Chains A and B, each alone.
Chain A
Amino acid sequence: DTAVSQTPKYLVTQMGNDKSIKCEQNLGHDTMYWYKQDSKKFLKIMFSYNNKELIINETVPNRFSPKSPDKAHLNLHINSLELGDSAVYFCASSLDRGTFSGNTIYFGEGSWLTVV
């Protein structure tokens, strides 16, 4: 059983297109995230949702719009794709944001987006 699953794993698309990446977690977690890993391998948080509510929105172009239909899903929609959007996008989840336990974050396997 995959704890955090995201689809598609690979996506090649043309500039200007709109695309979505879907993410689902079966861990019963309340908090979900999107991270972006660029060509230099830096991992940066983009968004965080807690119980379907947006709690973190880092400096990300508004062409990126996360949507959480329920707390097990956090999808990422990207409008008007640009060459610089090419990256690996990781979905992740954690139990919640408010515990002292250390709160492990579980990552999906990534979605490789290439914009041509």
Chain B
Amino acid sequence: DAKTTQPNSMESNEEEPVHLPCNHSTISGTDYIHWYRQLPSQGPEYVIHGLTSNVNNRMASLAIAEDRKSSTLILHRATLRDAAVYYCILRWNYGGSQGNLIFGKGTKLSVKP
């Protein structure tokens, strides 16, 4: 599976937007970009995923670069509950099969009141 690079940690203030970057320069055409997050003492939780176009859902937005070599997860208004480790994962999807989720180190997001 292609690798991703994320900052180890980021800080944000409550109610401000947060942009979490992810580099994936070796992404292939069959790789989807997935984001999961893990709150303290909980299991990972799906956030969003996309292939080429930007995506929005109730939790976040995903902005994908035109060359797909990087993406940014956007939390529009951070809350204290958003403090978690955020994982950017490439997951191949081809011919009716999908690859596993391969977790990296992720970005630990701290949210200050």
Contacts and interface: CB of A to CB of B under 8 A. Distances in A.
Contact of B100 (A4, A41, A48, A106): A48
Contacts of A92: 43
Interface bracket on B: 20 to 34
A108 interface: yes
Given A102-B34, A102-B49, A110 B100 contact: no
Interface in A37-74: 41-45, 48, 56
Interface bracket on A: 20 to 34
Nearest to B106: A41
Interface of B: 32, 34, 36, 38, 41-46, 49, 85, 93, 96-98, 100-103, 105
Interface of A: 4, 41-45, 48, 56, 90, 92, 97-100, 102-110
Closest 7 CB pairs of A and B: A107-B43, A43-B103, A98-B96, A104-B46, A102-B49, A107-B44, A90-B43
